[in-house]
Structure 1
């Protein structure tokens, strides 16, 4: 019997994903075209979504941890601690493609026990926050001449057009990456609470190619957040007023995007406006903004075809409107694109289109 490749097994598993997902994650629930569960440990919840139908069936993402992959990755992550070789053997057996019928020992992720009282919860949150603050303060201020500046330029974001680099970004030469079990260079972004206190740090691990080009590291999850940040955001650009978010002038308009690169692309296109990165779509609806910001332009990615993303986006739009703000939505015309794609494809002499 011939040996099947990883891509073949992933495709065959995806074809049987409506049977596989409930078996791997039995405490999940079907939500439209997705199987939703709390995490790879399998507890009830909504953070992890597995696509059950369509061209993307078998694709999954954990919106809390940032982990994602195909159907074979799901087997590896749920049962074998990420080991794809063991997952391939299990998959061949499960699909009836193997001559052996022996069972394999699995390494299911344990469901994290929640602390029994609020004091323990507070202590854990404080420890993560303290770790995030140490990481941030240990990194030198400013990104001029660092790999962060080179990485952003490679994404079409030339901060010289703004006259200065956002203070919310820093470069750290060695940040521990659990995925590869060693430190890697990283772009750091400060996530601040509504009061302006640093509560979490967003990490984007970077790598340099043999030709000297800096880009995101080749990881399953090159971006992760350290610390809890509900309601907070990355304050990337202050706009024409130059004032801190808490001092935003009356009747100001702010641009809110999901990710850092998209937000910075909007700042390049519309430097007169304040620009904020919500870090995630699920957090966008939780943003706490001053009442003086009376108009919000949401610079969204075109995630057409992704019901969960659209649901989170609509929730944010609705929440801003309920707060009495004027809300506008700007989205690239092409499916799968974001405003950074628009920026990089536009002629540099003409400048990017305004969202």
Structure 2
């Protein structure tokens, strides 16, 4: 039975997106992954199914960032169909493999081409084609959010004509965009994050973002990776948004920081083996609390001390804009370990 299940899992992996569309219909494709709430097809985004093989594993493998559960497509069939006996799971898998594919189930050629469009290679090309932030609309956007561009460490760039589509059925638009490089622990680029910008400049309603449905999107291999500012050794501060982490970086310019881009990705962030103390910058919402709890548990299991950093308002960029840099630095100073205050605030802000 074990060999038969292994063969079935391998066959299912060849049609992984069709399996996801059939069993996880409450989810959606995001780059190289299918995202959904869990293996029982609950709406949400905490579970990631790999649509293409990568150095991290074969196609069809999945991880639930909220619970740490993982498995293959047979597990998805079991959970989504409410099955218990593996013979029933195998029967359902065989039935699915024998079904004719609907027009919405993409052929392997189309899946391959779409994956290339959202691959790490495509992300690296987009970043390479972008220009430095200085003197661009991206710099104006950052300054509008009270972020000094010197904090970005070259991880951000600007593209004046970045493609945008709200969904597969709409026409492509072109907007200027802030491009952020997503890397793994070895510094290899795995993806990019795009923030489309309003060409008319910064405003206090949309905070400078373009008037589109989803002005922030990421592409590439994101799970476990992050936009990294500085190189972490024993100390790292991690959080969700780019602007959140850059706000803290303005207060402590030499402290290594990582923006995981979402609460779910923060929970799954890969930590350096040299890490001894992890600060987690909270966003004050339910998703942020779950992410902090999940990452704290993982860090503690690895023997890493964890300290949560809490803003006064919803996030640290809102604090920076509302109260100013000096107040943010003072609030950060009382939350850090004393040795890190000396290392990253007293020395880092002596300029």
Normalised to the residue count of structure 1, the TM-score between the two structures is 0.60
- Taking the TM superposition and a 5 Å limit, the aligned residue runs for 1:159-170 are 159-160=149-150, 162=151, 165-170=152-157
Aligned to 2:178: 187
- Taking the TM superposition and a 5 Å limit, the aligned residue runs for 1:201-240 are 201-209=192-200, 215-236=208-229, 238=230
1:316-339 per-position Cα deviation (integer Å, ceiling 9, x unaligned): 1211111110001112244xx101
Tell me by how many angstroms 1:271 deviates. 2.0
Aligned to 1:102: none
Q: RCO (CA 8 Å, sep 6+): is it higher in 1 or 2?
A: 2
Tell me by how many angstroms 1:343 deviates. 0.8
- Taking the TM superposition and a 5 Å limit, the aligned residue runs for 1:235-254 are 235-236=228-229, 238=230, 244-245=231-232, 248=233, 252-254=234-236
Q: Distance in 2 between matches of 1:318 and 1:110?
A: 43
Q: Distance in 2 between matches of 1:44 and 1:189?
A: 21
Q: Does 1:320 align with 2:299?
A: yes
Q: Distance in 1 between matches of 2:250 and 2:304?
A: 24
Distance 1:268 1:300, change over 3 A: same
Aligned to 1:71: none
Distance 1:328 1:212, change over 3 A: closer
Contact 1:125–1:227 under 8 Å retained in 2: no
Q: CA RMSD in A?
A: 3.9
Aligned to 1:196: 187
Distance 1:262 1:193, change over 3 A: same
1:218-241 per-position Cα deviation (integer Å, ceiling 9, x unaligned): 1220000121221111112x2xxx
Q: Does 1:153 align with 2:140?
A: no
Gaps of 5+ in 2: 1-20, 49-101, 336-351
Contact 2:184–2:225 under 8 Å retained in 1: yes
Q: Distance in 1 between matches of 2:298 and 2:288?
A: 15
Normalised to the residue count of structure 2, the TM-score between the two structures is 0.60
Q: Distance in 1 between matches of 2:35 and 2:267?
A: 22
Alignment partner of 2:163 out of 165, 176, 191: 176
Aligned to 2:18: none
Q: Distance in 2 between matches of 1:288 and 1:170?
A: 24
Q: Distance in 2 between matches of 1:231 and 1:44?
A: 15
Q: Does 1:39 align with 2:28?
A: yes
Aligned to 2:277: 295
Distance 1:47 1:138, change over 3 A: farther
Aligned to 2:237: 255
Tell me by how many angstroms 1:279 deviates. 1.4
In the alignment of these two chains, the number of paired residues is 249
Contact 2:137–2:201 under 8 Å retained in 1: no
Q: Distance in 1 between matches of 2:209 and 2:215?
A: 6
Tell me by how many angstroms 1:285 deviates. 2.8
Q: Runs (4+) of structure 1 moved beyond 6 Å?
A: 25-28, 120-123, 210-214
Distance 1:186 1:40, change over 3 A: closer
- Taking the TM superposition and a 5 Å limit, the aligned residue runs for 1:249-288 are 252-288=234-270
